[in-house]
Structure 1
Amino acid sequence: MRISQAGVDDVADLARLSWLDTLDEEPAQPSVAAFAAELAAWWAAHQHSHLAFVARLRRPEIVGVAWVALVPRVPRPGATGRLSADIQSVFVLPEQRGQGIGSALVQAAAEHATRLGALRVTVQSGRRAVPVYERLGFASSRQLLQRLPG
């Protein structure tokens, strides 16, 4: 398995994985090709704040992805380059799960964000994945709160 940062040439595969990940959730999805065009346009506008890491078992097939969103924080005296990061949209093909691919992707994305200076890396997880994130060093925090719409 090889983990690397995705590039523009990977958009079609990234779109395919996202499309597969949401197949059951979004009944009126566009085709994979239509979504690939939408993703390419979105990523062009967000390429400095959103990075994708991909797993390949055999080149060039991508079998998993994890995105990291980099969020600049308000500067403070002595700390003008503050940054936070959020792991998003982790997906591994169902037939490749249970081999550590998702963990390797999350680890690569989180380590990259930390190297860039992120003070914290967060993730919003489904219940089944919580133990995986805990094994990777993520922990619940009483200080990190969220406000839901409504």
Structure 2
Amino acid sequence: MGTHLTNTLHIRSARPDDLEAVAALRWQWVREAGEAPPVTTRDAFVRHFVAWSRENASSHHCLVMVRGDAVIGMAWLAVTRRVPSPRALERASGDVQCVYVVPRERDGGLGGRLIDAVLELAHQQGLERVTVHSSVRAVRAYARHGFGTSPLLLQADVPPPTDLPTAAPPLLPEEDLR
């Protein structure tokens, strides 16, 4: 029976008690990428992430992939309401964010299952379109699940403001960053 529970895999909406595990996945992902050092400690990040997730639950929907009792993957759908049109009074679009599967579970199609689950959620919510800002590694996976380039969907990189104070606490020694 224990083996059966360990191998059971399902995708569902994140519950409030999943948010710390989801925050830990987000921390792990950014640390794996190694692009820039964190601006805070892991514990402070987890607290902030959990609070942020609760505050933004109406617009940011988190799905988790669970094997047994362990959260092994996540995917977010950020929903943005759009200006009404005479053809559609209620409009919204979505953006896939933070699709992540723990390293030991990768390359078996699980990321694709998360993408499909997010697209199904978008369909259920009647979204007009779903975009994604992909990593280089994941571009082909998104293409396999229906994403493509659009000559009409443009983006502009906006430089960060220079006159805003940083709210991040100072970094602690590396051992506190886990």
On whether the aligned pair clears a TM of 0.5, the verdict is yes
CA shift at 1:25, angstroms?
3.0
Given the superposition, is the C-alpha separation of residues 95 and 29 from structure 1 closer, same or farther in structure 2, using an over 3 Å criterion? Answer: farther
1:115 and 2:98 matched: no
CA shift at 1:135, angstroms?
0.5
Structural RMSD (CA): 1.3
Say whether the 8 Å CA contact 1:103–1:136 is kept in structure 2: yes
1:132 and 2:145 matched: no
**Residue aligning to 1:66:** 75
| 1:90-125 residue CA offsets vs partner (Å, 9 max, x unmatched) | 111111101111111111011101210100011111
Q: How many residues align?
A: 149
CA shift at 1:21, angstroms?
0.4
1:76 and 2:81 matched: no
**Residue aligning to 1:49:** 59
Identity of aligned residues (%): 38
**Residue aligning to 2:10:** 2
Higher-Rg member (1/2): 2
CA shift at 1:29, angstroms?
4.5
Q: Which has more strand, going by share of residues?
A: 1
**Residue aligning to 1:106:** 115
| 1:22-48 residue CA offsets vs partner (Å, 9 max, x unmatched) | 112342343333212101211122110
**Residue aligning to 1:22:** 30
Quote the Cα distance in structure 2 between the aligned partners of 1:29 and 1:62.
Answer: 25
Quote the Cα distance in structure 2 between the aligned partners of 1:79 and 1:122.
Answer: 20
SS at match of 1:42: helix
Where structure 1 has 5 or more consecutive residues not aligned to the other structure, the ranges are none
Say whether the 8 Å CA contact 1:12–1:33 is kept in structure 2: no
The match for 1:12 among 10, 20, 27 is 20
TM (norm. structure 1) is: 0.93
TM (norm. structure 2) is: 0.79
Say whether the 8 Å CA contact 1:15–1:32 is kept in structure 2: no
| Structure 1 runs, 4 residues or longer, greater than 2 Å off | 28-33
Residues 133-148 of structure 1: pairs in structure 2 closer than 5 A: 133-148=142-157
SS at match of 1:75: coil
CA shift at 1:8, angstroms?
1.0
Quote the Cα distance in structure 2 between the aligned partners of 1:127 and 1:34.
Answer: 29
